[in-house]
Amino acid sequence: MDKYEIFKDNVYKLIGINLSCYKEKQMKRRINSLIGRNNYSDFDDYFKGLKTDEKLLSEFVNYLTINVSEFYRNPSQWEVIEKEIIPVSIEKHSNLKIWSSACSTGEEPYSMVMLLSKFFPLNKIKILATDIDKGAIEKAKIGVYNEKSVQNLPKEFVSKYFKRIGNTYKIDDSIKKCVEFKELNLLEDNYPRNTDLILCRNVMIYFTEEAKNIMYKKFYDSLNKEGILFVGSTEQIILPDRFNLKSVRTFFYKKSN
């Protein structure tokens, strides 16, 4: 067994992340850059560091999970949610159960709360937001963002729900209270049940086809009857019928029974 295979086994035993589910070429390149940056000699040496240095381990998980996010990423798709997805969902369920499944540093679930505030009072909105990266979740709970993060957000939301501090924007506690953050490994853990809308955007591109297939099946099981899965701009599902999903708009898939 080569050193990378041993490293993958060791990482799985240590933190429960299965590196075999990620595209190998990309993943090896990313890890080799971390090894070099931290002055370790090879995978074995680096893993010894991961076991003993909490800061190094945190950097590793953070680097794996690629936290690149912004509010209202791909604004035209948020318009589809507002004009088409939410109104139809409300007709079926008065209390929507929404899950942001790879929430990174919080921009996506907080965007969802602000959009929902057009339909419901804030005290009626609750969103589950999960990520594998504890550091990203901690940043999300703090809720401070740079100017670039909020550039696509409708101006009414920026003025209503953010306080400007220098070049940063702090999100209002009234929005933060609507989101429950939890750690969750999409490859290993159980998914929440009876969800009306799942957001899983800009994360599937890093997984192998086999891993994606498992996740699509789990998303199907997680959705309510006619629930919607919303994916990223580079993540259209090829032949969604295989997973009993039906395309309702580009990047939006409905559970079909």
Q: How far apart are CA 213 and CA 245, in angstroms?
A: 12
Nearest alpha-carbon partner for 10 in 56, 43, 55, 54: 43
Nearest alpha-carbon partner for 145 in 188, 116, 117, 176: 176
Supply the pLDDT for residue 139. 85
Supply the pLDDT for residue 138. 84
Summarised one tens digit per residue, pLDDT across range 187-197 is 999 999 999 99
Residue 62 has a CB neighbour count (10 Å cut-off) of 15
Summarised one tens digit per residue, pLDDT across range 95-108 is 899 999 999 999 99
Supply the pLDDT for residue 173. 93
Angle at CA of residue 186, ends 184 and 189, nearest 5°: 65
Confidence of residue 91 (pLDDT cuts 50, 70, 90): confident
Domains of the chain and any CATH numbers: 3-65 (no CATH), 75-255 (3.40.50.150)
User: Which residues, 6 or more positions from 194, have their beta carbon under 8 angstroms from its beta carbon?
Assistant: 97, 222, 224
Supply the pLDDT for residue 254. 95
Q: How far apart are CA 37 and CA 139, in angstroms?
A: 23
